[in-house]
Structure 1
Amino acid sequence: MPKQRSYRVWSENDLWLAVAAYKNGDYGLNESSRVYGVPKATIKRYVDNTDPDNIKTLGRPAIFCNDMERILSEHILHLEECFFGLTIREVRKLAFDVAEKYDLPHNFNRDTKMAGKKWFYAFMKRNSHLSLRKPEGTSMARARGFNRENVNHFFDLLEQIIEKYKFRADSIFNVDESGFTTVQKSLPKVLARKGKQQVGSVTSGERGVNTTMVCAVNAAGLYIPPMIIFKRKRLHPDLEIGAPPASIVTISDTGYINSDLFLDWLKHFQMQINCSEAKKVLLLLDGHTTHSKNFQACEFELGVMELFCFNCLATLPTVYSHWM
């Protein structure tokens, strides 16, 4: 049986103590090696060349230099910021293409035209600001609307209307719909900056049978019983089994909300909150067509609540400006 060898069982602190003892003449080379447990050849090499950039490290040398790896990591982060994050296989393929383009010596697999998994994990270790994250599906409209100008304009308008009517936390509500499909395809993990709260990825859309829930909550933490919309032609009483108390269970041909159902939800909302012309509330909602182009909903809301409509954090639609 061949002898099992151990590499670098000494610490970095022991190494520099051994190098300092040998350079200062406190110990000879053999004694420094015995006292601190560092190989003689290692001590001699560090004494002869103490430049950290030129010190030999264990394992194979990196394919890319520090500047090229920095550019590669910045390119990965830039694509993720544009909602087109790279998967592990795509990063390995990119590394192979870069090495081939610049004629760099490498041991990547030329059959699969990808860098190896060991290179990827070593690359991640050297670039600790990267992490593997699971993105959330983000529509193209939301990706286009999320920019600094629109976000600042949104908060400017929100601040104006809150100061105008002196809304408190218990009078500010946010409503949104969430669709749940029976055929949910998970997205692959992509590389992003470590610590980032949300990672997005552009998706083509949802497939399968869809069920929608309309939920609302105010800034003080009060939840409104939701509206649950099933994709059916006829409403069956069994659909209400297990639903939250006081919630609305209804149906639509597509499983999505429509203008009539949104009007029903507004009536449900007013009944739960008891808002009136003397006790107005602020309702935040997105720019879905059932919200922004629903004239019946505008007539119902007149006098009992103020609407602040935003489309992917974009500007306030003019359809509501006449009622505000």
Structure 2
Amino acid sequence: MSFIKIWHQKRDNSKNKCPRRTLFNYSPSQIKNALEEIRNGMKIQTACKMYNVPRSTIRNKLLGRAPETTGKVGKDPVLGEEVENRLVEWIKETSRAGFPICREGLIYSVQKLVKEAELNTPFKNGTSGRKWFHLFMSRHPDLSRKQSEYINRARSLVTEKKIKSWFAETLELLGDDKSVLEDPARVWNMDETAMYLCPKGTLVLAEKGVPVCNTSANSDKENITTLLTVSAAGHMAPPLTLYKYDRLPKNVSKNAPPEWAIGKSPKGWTSSAFYEYFANVLLSYLKKDQC
């Protein structure tokens, strides 16, 4: 038989395959309502037709063969539903606290749980594998894997109390000049932004729909620092970009935007270059705009 005939025969056989069975074309509320009607005296067949629920499903629930509240088929999870639900809540709590769990961390924690609780599992040496992890994620669609963002540890420790204290100190510092706060063109905010040369973080587990979680680190990764200054009125002053060079290359100064301030710093921090930027660039810009 030629290859073409075999290929056509396989295509014809694929067309004759049975369609995939669709499960659960009904909601839990339909099950609940049907059971209530039956317990109130309605016939099983009538209730099943009214709420479009399979008669076998209703019989199994009435006879106690299947729980009334579940909507799934197959075996229970290896660790049990209660343990898995606790794991999900733990993952969410650690993520909210700023310490998200990666896949390896979850697998290690499950291994420790299995060992200490002496759980009977099919895991080799008590360690769950890749298959278990993917099934765990599919059973809990409210979790997702996200890219973590590294921030400086000092910034991660900012609290509401410290923010309110900063505002109180600022008001005291202004004294009789508090009226400047009423003019948005005279209220400016500065912030350093790290342009990461290698921005990819680790994949961590977090609650779906929640903004990307942050991972604290003692020091930032390799980056180029840019100091941005923006007013409450939406005006942006010339930014300052620092490069980690002892001597600034000519191509950097040549290709930089003309209105930008650029500088060099051995460590890439703005602590030393800030004063020069403030005196030579920012003040002249503010005087020009009469801020």
Q: Into which bin does the TM-score normalised by the smaller protein fall? A: 0.7 to 0.9
Seen in structure 2, the aligned counterparts of structure 1 residues 106 and 142 have a Cα distance that, compared at 3 Å, is same
| Equivalent residue number for residue 153 of structure 1 | 165
- Selected match of 1:173 from 188, 205, 208: 188
- Any stretches of 5+ residues in structure 2 without a counterpart? 1-15
CA contact (8 A) 1:137 1:200 kept: yes
CA distance in 1, matches of 2:92, 2:58: 40
Seen in structure 2, the aligned counterparts of structure 1 residues 105 and 159 have a Cα distance that, compared at 3 Å, is farther
CA contact (8 A) 1:92 1:120 kept: no
| Equivalent residue number for residue 124 of structure 1 | 140
| Equivalent residue number for residue 47 of structure 1 | 62
CA offset at residue 44 of structure 1? 0.8
Seen in structure 2, the aligned counterparts of structure 1 residues 45 and 162 have a Cα distance that, compared at 3 Å, is farther
CA distance in 2, matches of 1:241, 1:112: 60
CA contact (8 A) 2:26 2:52 kept: no
The structure whose residues are more often helix, as a share, is 2
Seq. identity, %: 19
CA distance in 1, matches of 2:169, 2:243: 35
- Selected match of 1:10 from 25, 28, 49: 25
Seen in structure 2, the aligned counterparts of structure 1 residues 258 and 53 have a Cα distance that, compared at 3 Å, is same
Seen in structure 2, the aligned counterparts of structure 1 residues 15 and 76 have a Cα distance that, compared at 3 Å, is closer
CA offset at residue 274 of structure 1? 0.8
Q: Does 1:266 align with 2:282?
A: no
CA distance in 2, matches of 1:253, 1:152: 35
CA contact (8 A) 1:178 1:212 kept: yes
CA distance in 1, matches of 2:213, 2:44: 56
| Equivalent residue number for residue 201 of structure 1 | 215
CA offset at residue 200 of structure 1? 1.3
CA offset at residue 242 of structure 1? 4.1
CA offset at residue 275 of structure 1? 8.2
Q: Write the letter of the residue equivalent to 2:215.
A: S
For normalisation by structure 1, the TM-score amounts to 0.66
CA distance in 1, matches of 2:163, 2:51: 59
Larger mean CA deviation between 98-107 and 217-226 belongs to 98-107
Seen in structure 2, the aligned counterparts of structure 1 residues 5 and 194 have a Cα distance that, compared at 3 Å, is closer
CA offset at residue 15 of structure 1? 3.9
Q: Does 1:80 align with 2:95?
A: yes
Summarize deviations over 1:20-57 as a string: whole Å, max 9, x none.
5654555454x666776644331112233499677574
CA distance in 2, matches of 1:35, 1:81: 45
CA offset at residue 158 of structure 1? 3.5
Q: Write the letter of the residue equivalent to 2:265.
A: S
CA offset at residue 91 of structure 1? 1.9
CA distance in 1, matches of 2:210, 2:71: 34
| Equivalent residue number for residue 229 of structure 1 | 242
Q: Write the letter of the residue equivalent to 2:253.
A: E
CA contact (8 A) 2:110 2:127 kept: no
CA distance in 1, matches of 2:66, 2:47: 21
CA contact (8 A) 1:23 1:47 kept: no
CA offset at residue 273 of structure 1? 0.5
CA distance in 2, matches of 1:193, 1:4: 35
CA contact (8 A) 2:61 2:68 kept: no
- Selected match of 1:188 from 186, 191, 202: 202
| Equivalent residue number for residue 141 of structure 1 | 154
| Equivalent residue number for residue 128 of structure 2 | 114
Seen in structure 2, the aligned counterparts of structure 1 residues 155 and 37 have a Cα distance that, compared at 3 Å, is same
Q: Number of paired residues?
A: 269
CA distance in 2, matches of 1:38, 1:62: 26
Seen in structure 2, the aligned counterparts of structure 1 residues 250 and 16 have a Cα distance that, compared at 3 Å, is closer
CA distance in 1, matches of 2:43, 2:161: 66
CA offset at residue 245 of structure 1? 3.4
Seen in structure 2, the aligned counterparts of structure 1 residues 61 and 164 have a Cα distance that, compared at 3 Å, is farther
For normalisation by structure 2, the TM-score amounts to 0.73
- Any stretches of 5+ residues in structure 1 without a counterpart? 282-324
Summarize deviations over 1:162-206 as a string: whole Å, max 9, x none.
674212211111122333354x15211222344444521023534
Seen in structure 2, the aligned counterparts of structure 1 residues 235 and 22 have a Cα distance that, compared at 3 Å, is closer
